Amino acid sequence: MKNKLLIYGASGHGKVIIDIVEKESRHEIVGFIDDDFTLQGQDFCGYSILGGFDLLNKALYHDCKLILAIGDNRVRKNLCKKLKDLGYELARAIHPSSQIARDVSIGSGTVIMANAVVNSGTKIGGNVIINTGATIDHDCIIGDYVHISPGGHLAGNVKVGELSHIGIGASVIQEVSIGKNSIIGAGAAVIHDIPNNVIAAGVPAEIIKQHKNGG
């Protein structure tokens, strides 16, 4: 029997998660939750947008797991806390075409998309997005609420702190640490450690400013 599943966020990201969930065939999608009242009651890719956050207080849906289809790391973290306070369990979604070593650990709520590769010894936190075609080599540590964008590549023994975002096509050499709540720009080449709460870009990547949401 399949687990019942709600997807939070009727967005482009949500469309990709639909595809993953349908291909995995482990969950039955009950519908979508979205806080945009103009969308509520509409059809989204064959599933109903049932309502907003307040709907989750109703006992009707307490037997459902949730996946957050929200790209913004901080919004995802805040919403995750609220859902856990209501007693909801967050499900993982892992595309069948991804290649994941047998000893990789993956936290709840994490989504791994098509053609991603995660190699041996890597630890991935909760509510992480490993996007399309991203690669994470051996013994990396990926903190909670991180987003590795499409085509992002991490060499071995890389650490990425909570809430950080690796931009599309960015590369990180081996044994580099990226702090918490930092952003690595698209196409960047990271060859040295990056601290907390900064934006870094370029080849090689250099800090260009403090992150506006920094501590």
The string of pLDDT tens digits covering residues 91-101 is 999 999 999 99
Please say if the pLDDT value at position 215 is more than 70: no
Please say if the pLDDT value at position 60 is more than 90: no
Calculate mean pLDDT across residues 20-40: 94
Please say if the pLDDT value at position 182 is more than 60: yes
Please say if the pLDDT value at position 90 is more than 60: yes
| pTM, two decimal places | 0.95
- 3-state class (DSSP) for residue 57: helix
Please provide residue 59's backbone torsions phi and psi, each rounded to the nearest 5 degrees: -60, -20
Calculate mean pLDDT across residues 32-43: 92
Calculate mean pLDDT across residues 37-51: 93
Q: Which CATH architecture has domain 3-91?
A: 3-Layer(aba) Sandwich (3.40)
Q: Would you call 29 exposed, middle or buried from its count of C-beta atoms within 10 A (0-12, 13-18, 19+)?
A: buried
Q: What is the pLDDT of residues 105-138, one digit of tens each?
A: 999 999 999 999 999 999 999 999 999 999 999 9
Equal CATH topology for 3-91 and 94-209: no
pLDDT given at position 156: 98
Q: Of 35, 42, 70, whose CA–CA distance to 56 is shortest?
A: 35
Please say if the pLDDT value at position 214 is more than 70: no
| Catalytic positions, written as ranges | 138
pLDDT given at position 66: 96
Of the pLDDT bands very low, low, confident and very high (cuts 50, 70, 90), residue 158 is very high
Calculate mean pLDDT across residues 147-151: 98
- Which of the 8 DSSP states describes residue 194? B
pLDDT given at position 52: 93
Please say if the pLDDT value at position 59 is more than 80: no
Calculate mean pLDDT across residues 128-149: 98
- The fold for domain 94-209 equals UDP N-Acetylglucosamine Acyltransferase; domain 1 (2.160.10)
pLDDT given at position 62: 86
pLDDT given at position 152: 98
pLDDT given at position 12: 94
Of the pLDDT bands very low, low, confident and very high (cuts 50, 70, 90), residue 20 is very high
pLDDT given at position 11: 92
Find all residues with CB under 8 Å of 148, minimum gap 6, and list them. 128, 129, 130, 131, 134, 136, 142, 154, 160, 166
Please say if the pLDDT value at position 173 is more than 80: yes
Domain range summary for the chain, segments of one domain joined by + = 3-91, 94-209
Find all residues with CB under 8 Å of 21, minimum gap 6, and list them. 5, 7, 27, 29, 67, 93
Q: Which two tokens stand for residue 67?
A: 């996946």
pLDDT given at position 58: 79
Distance CA 67, CA 215 (A): 27
